């Protein structure tokens, strides 16, 4: 599985509204496999298709056990509470900032074969779902930052 290049802020791919996935075929599976490899190598909490230049509605999100969940055509169907914490993005390297997100989310999505499922998450994982789904609508976390954090303060 080859890794793919992660595009950086300034690339127009990151500002497009992505189209739904309609074909759950080998090409999709190859993309997902490549994204797993890319994300594992980058050691990130999530990766959305537009970050590898593909304008389709799919992403990977790290779950609490450290595995990556594939979400195709995801939608947040429920959210509650708020949390305010530090966020970053593989497409905006070296930048960290405070972002308010829901504390709990429920997401409906499809798996790589098109089978629908729902998943609930809280805390850091809920934040990761929101961040990745935002990517599919051309939104970056920097749009929401209330305060930038000096990376040295995070050490």
Element (DSSP H or E) covering residue 28: helix 26-42
Q: Does 99 bind Co ion (CB under 5 A)?
A: no
CB 51 within 8 A of CB 19: no
Instruction: Read off the tokens for 64.
Output: 């609490």
Nearer to Co ion, 5 or 22 (CB): 5
- Smallest distance, Å, CB 113 to Co ion? 26
Binding mask 30-69 for Co ion (x = CB under 5 A): ----------------------------------------
Stretch that binds Co ion, among 58-66, 84-92, 111-119, 147-155 (CB under 5 A): 84-92
In order, the DSSP letters of 35-77 are: HHHHHHHHT-SEEEGGGGT--BSEEEEE-TTS-EEEEEEEEEE
Stretch that binds Co ion, among 23-31, 62-70, 85-93, 111-119 (CB under 5 A): 85-93
What order of strands is seen across the sheet that includes strand 116-122?
46-48, 58-62, 68-80, 104-110, 116-122
- Smallest distance, Å, CB 152 to Co ion? 22
CB 111 within 8 A of CB 72: yes
Q: Does 89 bind Co ion (CB under 5 A)?
A: yes
Give catalytic residues, as residue numbers: 132
Which residues here bind Co ion, judged by CB under 5 A?
A: 89
């Amino acid at each position: 599985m080859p890794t793919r290049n992660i595009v950086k802020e300034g690339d127009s791919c990151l500002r497009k509204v992505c189209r739904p996935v309609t074909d759950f075929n080998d090409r999709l599976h190859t993309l997902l496999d490549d994204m797993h490899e890319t994300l594992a190598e980058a050691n990130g909490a999530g990766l959305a298709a537009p970050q590898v230049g593909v304008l389709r509605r799919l992403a990977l999100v790290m779950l609490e056990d450290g595995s990556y969940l594939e979400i195709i055509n995801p939608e947040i169907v429920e959210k509650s509470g708020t949390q305010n914490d530090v966020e970053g993005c593989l497409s905006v390297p070296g930048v960290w900032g405070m972002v308010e997100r829901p504390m709990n989310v429920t997401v409906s999505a499809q798996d790589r074969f098109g089978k629908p499922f729902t998943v609930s998450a809280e805390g850091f994982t809920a934040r990761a779902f929101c961040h990745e789904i935002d990517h599919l609508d051309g939104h970056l976390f920097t749009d929401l930052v209330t305060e930038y954090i000096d990376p040295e303060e995070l050490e």
